[in-house]
Amino acid sequence: MRSYLLISFLLHSLCILGLKAQIDESLFNEVESKVIEWRHHIHQNPELSNREFKTSEYVAKHLKSLGIEIQTGVAHTGVVGILEGKMEGKVVALRADMDALPVTERNDLSYKSRVISEFNGQKTGVMHACGHDTHVAILMGVAEVLAKSRNFPGTIKFIFQPAEEGPPPGEEGGALLMVKEGVLENPKVDAIFGLHINSGTHVGKITYKPGGMLAASQRFVINVKGKQAHGSTPWQSIDPIVVGAQIINGLQTIISRESELTNEGAVISVGSIHSGIRFNIIPENLEMIGTIRTLDRDMKELIRNRMQEIVPAIAAAYRAEATINIVDGADITFNDEALTRKMIPTLQRVAGEDKVFEINAITGAEDFSYFQNKVPGLFFFLGGTPLNMEERDAPSHHTPSFIVDDSSMQLGVKALSNLAIDFLMLN
């Protein structure tokens, strides 16, 4: 029996080594320039959430050219590719998000976005200000590499996801809708991997965290109703702008005085306020929109409950009325600890042990979490900051100056390709 087990182990090891060799380094070199070209095209032609029509067509055409079976129209504009290996085995999914943001680009690039669209009733530029263009191009490159290295067991599912930044109000979308429509079934996915380009981390680096890595996000809308009056007679009004200011201050005390921040971080931010139309009229109504970020489920409920109590109470204290509506965005992005331990050696082999770092949790959010709620998943960051720029000086995500170095993407292709093959071989 011992001899049989030893022979089986050796054969399995040789098989693994042989199949790893099937991803010839030359394939990564061949696809690099294509990935950059695809990324530039997608960057120049950004589309908002649930409106990624041309992007999905671009992706679908590429997958078809590789002989990969595809499904389109998943969660509105999503594309799913299925690549079967030569032997039966497990199923691994790789995900990239496709949507851009209502941001007007400030960079002076040959492939700069000049697209104008409408968001929340306002004209705006559209920009890949979070790097989703790199994610799509990287996964297109992975698909090409793996389609040419098909000697693996099992199945690889490529998920090109719309609306990671959140669907428009009144619509469903994103990872949550993809899961609802069965993207993790037929064939049933055993594990999923995803990456996010990171401004503020140098090219060549990979960062990760086992367990809770990114925060849950919630979107809130507060409407304040006051009483309109002439700006010269404020005593005749119930000023919703003043009430709104008091509500904002009150919300911050939930974080600074009620949230146990030694457990986990939490954030409440107001990102948009609209009220009034003229300098000498105190308006009747005010609307504010913002986000809540939490890394602990109990804190999430505490903050939600206290906001629902505080907002109408503060308004009432100033003789106004206020309502608050809180909608879930992403859940906590939780890296399965056993899967992470198993796969980190792959990332270290690909990037170099000295280039893979464990980090603290951050208050950014990712709806990749909804895939991880159903199957074990590993999500990691890929450095995108040029080496000649200090990491601390890199423009933030979601800003007009956000920029990514093209040289970052080959490591992304290598990382996802090797994670997929190693998972299928080692399980």
d(CA 115, CA 44): 8
Q: Please answer whether residues 268 and 300 qualify as being in contact, where contact means their C-beta atoms are separated by less than 8 angstroms.
A: no
d(CA 186, CA 207): 32
d(CA 222, CA 412): 40
**DSSP one-letter code for 407:** G
d(CA 368, CA 387): 28
Tell me which of 97, 99, 190, 296 is the catalytic residue: 99
Paired strand residues for 217:
293
Q: Is the peptide bond before 386 cis (omega within 30 degrees of 0)?
A: no
Active site residue 99: yes
Can you say how many angstroms the Cα of residue 19 is from the centroid of all Cα atoms in its chain? 31
AA identity, residue 224: V
What token pair was written down for 377? 């998943």
Q: Please answer whether residues 376 and 92 qualify as being in contact, where contact means their C-beta atoms are separated by less than 8 angstroms.
A: no
What token pair was written down for 245? 């200011």
Tell me which of 47, 133, 164, 422 is the catalytic residue: 164
Active site residue 164: yes
Beta-sheet pairing, 69-74 with 78-84: antiparallel
Please give the positions annotated as active site: 99, 164
